[in-house]
Chains A and B, each alone.
Chain A
Amino acid sequence: MANEPQKSDDNGQAAEAVVTDDEIVLQDQQLKTIEDEQKSVPLVATLAPFSILCAEYDNETSAAFLSKATELSEVYGEIRYIRGDGNCFYRAILVGLIEIMLKDRARLEKFIASSRDWTRTLVELGFPDWTCTDFCDFFIEFLEKIHSGVHTEEAVYTILNDDGSANYILMFFRLITSAFLKQNSEEYAPFIDEGMTVAQYCEQEIEPMWKDADHLAINSLIKAAGTRVRIEYMDRTAAPNGGWHYDIPSDDQQIAPEITLLYRPGHYDVIYKKDSTEASEIEN
């Protein structure tokens, strides 16, 4: 009717910024297709033998990846797929830590205490009142129920696969990543694109759900969660140090990482070393 068709005649430049209803419908459909594809993988899959990764590649079409996967299969025995919904890095760290804490009670207690500290830190840093602390409270309650035995290991994985609860827990990890960056904003400001403050970066890249973690987010979460992570790369050009793997924090190489992730372009899964201690290290 009246003004919709005029937009393009009258003000071409402004009209470009205007999204028509048809475009919104099309966008929604595309997003729905992507979402359906993503949901074919569970949020957190069960452990699978590492050979399943090799089976993903073909000697003719992806020889380089097949050879790398085969090489990794000498060292790594199992893989746990994580859904590629933009949260995979955060979720992989969450799962890795929960696995450790299911076996290590002292670590669990320590993590509950540090999560309480983070809740206070968030409030001090001025994160919006109860909505943020809600995520913390939910996560701490989840950990406490593991501690008291209310949540069995089976229940834990059920919760980690239930969209509603799992994303509430995941949000805690995004929040502490953001808080860590804001706490150390002077140190990290130089790594953020010009014209953006650390706080803006956090609000646009870290805090919104389904946004991929970049190198800054990866570093911050690992430090905030007090863990040590090795990332194995299928493609050496993707590694920050140009090697086949990269350890964070990178300053104490002598301490073994406790979580290992496999990076394939745009995605992280959790991988596990074979039990045998003699499995040889892959040369960098």
Chain B
Amino acid sequence: MSNIAFNRLQRECKEVVTNSEISETGIMIEILNENLTEIKGHIRGPPDTPYAGGMFDLDIKIPDQYPFSPPNVKFSTKIWHPNVSSQTGVICLDILKDQWAASLTLRTVLLSIQALMCTPEPKDPQDAVVAKQYMEKPAVFKATAEYWTTKFAKGAVKNAGYQALVDKLKDMGVREEEAVSVLSCNNWDINRSTVYIFS
């Protein structure tokens, strides 16, 4: 990274860290190395969404060509969202791909991801299974996304029914993360999930 890009990045980090409205915006970053190429992002789950009450972490990697190439951003906290891979955390968001512009900043990126959490785009999915559930079974989607929030993003709401199903699979020797994932993909149908895992 050139000096000028480094200086700009420093300023971008400052913009997020020192922003006085941080309690309102719910975004924060943590710098992981001196040359600013690895950054941890945090987004508070927006209110009135299934992610409310959760704290979501993101891995941000700054490429050599920054700011002319977009930062590489993915969720490190597992999240149930049509535009995020439930497996890898990869995000499908135009500004992180071909719509990136050098005038955008870490702050605008984090705010855009937060906006995406409020308004999923199921027509342009990253995770087709989640997107299908979002469109066809919105109530199950909402409950599943909430359950993932409590499970992986330190949320406070508990869904005892879902937890019981996860525990059932765990008793059969299935890893907890796999149990959550398979049940979520099968709309919490324990029979289908068992068949999926054991056949």
The interface of chain A, by Cβ under 8 A from chain B, is: 1-4, 6-7, 10-11, 14-15, 17-18, 21, 127-128, 130-132, 134-135, 138, 162-165, 167-168, 171, 203-204, 207-210
Contact = CB atoms under 8 A, between A and B. Distances in A.
B118 interface: no
Contact of A171 (B3, B88, B102, B124): B102
A203 B101 contact: yes
20 contacts: A2-B87, A2-B185, A3-B87, A3-B185, A10-B132, A11-B128, A11-B131, A18-B128, A127-B103, A131-B103, A164-B1, A164-B4, A165-B2, A167-B65, A167-B68, A168-B2, A171-B68, A203-B101, A207-B101, A209-B102
Contact of B2 (A162, A171, A204, A208): A162
A89 to B, nearest CB: 16
Q: Which 6 A-B pairs have the closest CB atoms?
A: A164-B2, A209-B68, A14-B128, A2-B181, A3-B129, A3-B185
A138 B5 CA distance: 11
Q: Which of B108, B125, B126, B128 has the most CB of A within 10 A?
A: B128
A164 B5 contact: yes
B77 interface: no
A175 to B, nearest CB: 8
A175 B3 CA distance: 21
B199 interface: no
A162 B108 CA distance: 28
Contact of A11 (B86, B132, B196): B132
A103 to B, nearest CB: 27
A130 B103 CA distance: 8
A210 B100 CA distance: 11
A263 B67 CA distance: 29
A210 B98 CA distance: 11
A131 B100 contact: no
B23 to A, nearest CB: 22
A168 B68 CA distance: 9
Given A18-B125, A165-B4, A209-B102, 17 more contacts: A3-B87, A3-B130, A11-B128, A11-B131, A14-B128, A14-B132, A17-B125, A17-B128, A21-B88, A21-B90, A132-B103, A138-B4, A164-B4, A171-B68, A204-B99, A208-B102, A209-B69
A14 B136 CA distance: 13
Interface string B2-14: 1111001001000
A4 B185 CA distance: 10
B157 to A, nearest CB: 23
Contacts of B8: 131, 134
B149 interface: no
Contacts of A127: 103
A15 B3 contact: no
Nearest to A175: B103
A131 B99 CA distance: 16
Contacts of A131: 8, 67, 102-105
Contacts of B2: 162-165, 168
Q: Which of A17, A131, A132, A134 has the most CB of B within 10 A?
A: A131
Contacts of B69: 209
Given A130-B11, A207-B101, A14 B125 contact: yes
Nearest to B95: A203
A21 B101 CA distance: 24
Interface in B34-61: none
B62 interface: no
A3 B108 contact: no
Nearest to A203: B101
Nearest to A208: B101
B176 interface: no
B146 interface: no
B182 interface: yes
Interface string B114-154: 00000000001111111110000000000000000000000
Contacts of B30: none
A90 B114 CA distance: 35
B103 A128 contact: yes
Contacts of B108: 128
Given A10-B129, A131-B67, A209-B102, A17 B124 contact: yes
